[in-house]
Amino acid sequence: MGIAGQVELESARQSIPASMLAAVYRGVNDVRLETVPVPKIGAGELLLRVHTCGVCGTDLKKIATGSHSAPRIFGHETSGTVAAVGDRVRKFQPGDRVIAFHHIPCRICYYCRHKTFAQCSTYKEVGCTAGFEPSGGGFAEYVRVMDWIVEQGTIRIPDGVSFEQACFVEPVNTCIKGIEALRLEPGETVLTIGQGPIGIILGVLGQRAGATVITSDLYPERLKIAASLGLKRTINASQRDVVRCVQEQTEGRGADAVILAVGSNALIRPALDATRPGGRVLLFAQTQHGEVVVDPAAICVDEKTLLGSYSASVGLQEESVRFVMNREMNLEKLISHRFPLRDAPQAFGLAAHPQPSSMKVVIQPGSARPGNAGKAERREGT
């Protein structure tokens, strides 16, 4: 590093505070706003100043069930600005706008060789932290990005692409992985149950694969958003029988594939009922262990296939980055509420108990203006 670079790095370090605000998980449904030390970085690592972090359903489930030890700082759909770089970092410098994946697999173990990356032991080691156990850390002002994530999982945000658009790279990756698991063929009919942000992304990707997509949701407001993004075939599940409607649109057969994008085990049986003999059902939101009553004859005699897809795939990283950064879908349109970090508990509450008017909830630590909490503002290029 030359003299000019050293001066720039030292100036950046001097502007970094010693402490920061964070939303700290302390136990079941217990998240507290606390002042914690800004994490120190080592050789090959980055310090990221968080701009936007999406609230993911998996984080909410961890908070609600106490599945992880405390204390932790969650949040993994993170975009922001490089605040400092450690020794040996050559790809990035302070001021770069980036997103960081929190998981990257080893690529050489049994599971990686079989492209089941989410089962890799290295993948399960979270590589981003705001302190305490590495758990993402996006619900804080600063995040430490560890060396293997810097090298393989940190992506520069192009000029003209907002932090809000960019923070969708990881969730889009998970959705592309789910669509690939279904092995859709052009002309097939797909039912997507649930039109929250993830359900809508899955529907758009299904159409991108050449399928005819039918969407269903209890909230007509969500169906309108889905329709505005090109998903025109909608079923209001609060007024109509979804299984019957799908059969009516498929000559009585049922859908070739059904995606369950709602974390309700009670909907697994209706999803199977809406699927034609020989069709597939993808469980996308069933991330908690439990028991479900399934008709075994639907799988054996009717030859229906029950599939699962979880987390992201490193093999789809480039495709998900292109999809997001090229704005193949206006993902900012899915954001309904933006909260400053100080209002993180309210953000989690809304995301855990969605309302007809709520879609994607994001936390923006740098947003501190009075009255900003929860407003669906649009800020291009931020």
Predicted local confidence at residue 105, as pLDDT? 97
CATH code for the structural domain at 3-156+330-363:
3.90.180.10
Report residue 339: phi and psi, to 5°.
-120, 140
How many H-runs (helices) and E-runs (strands) does the chain carry? 13, 16
Pinpoint the alpha helices (H) of the chain.
3-14, 57-65, 110-113, 147-152, 163-166, 169-182, 197-208, 220-228, 242-248, 268-273, 296-300, 317-325, 344-352
Same fold, 3-156+330-363 and 176-308: no
Q: Please state the domain extents for the chain.
A: 3-156+330-363, 176-308
Q: What span, in angstroms and rounded, lies between the C-alpha atoms of 268 and 259?
A: 10
DSSP alpha helix (H) spans, 192-295: 197-208, 220-228, 242-248, 268-273
**Fold for domain 176-308?**
Rossmann fold (3.40.50)
Distance in angstroms (rounded) separating the CA atoms of residues 302 and 299: 6
CA 322/CA 284 separation, integer angstroms? 23
282 and 309 Cβ atoms separated by less than 8 Å? yes
H or E element at residue 81: strand 77-85
Tens digit of each residue's pLDDT, the chain (382 residues): 445 445 444 555 558 999 999 999 999 999 999 999 999 999 999 999 999 999 999 999 999 999 999 999 999 999 999 999 999 999 999 999 999 999 999 999 999 999 999 999 999 999 999 999 999 999 999 999 999 999 999 999 999 999 999 999 999 999 999 999 999 999 999 999 999 999 999 999 999 999 999 999 999 999 999 999 999 999 999 999 999 999 999 999 999 999 999 999 999 999 999 999 999 999 999 988 889 989 999 999 999 999 999 999 999 999 999 999 999 999 999 999 999 999 999 999 999 999 998 999 999 998 754 333 444 443 333 3
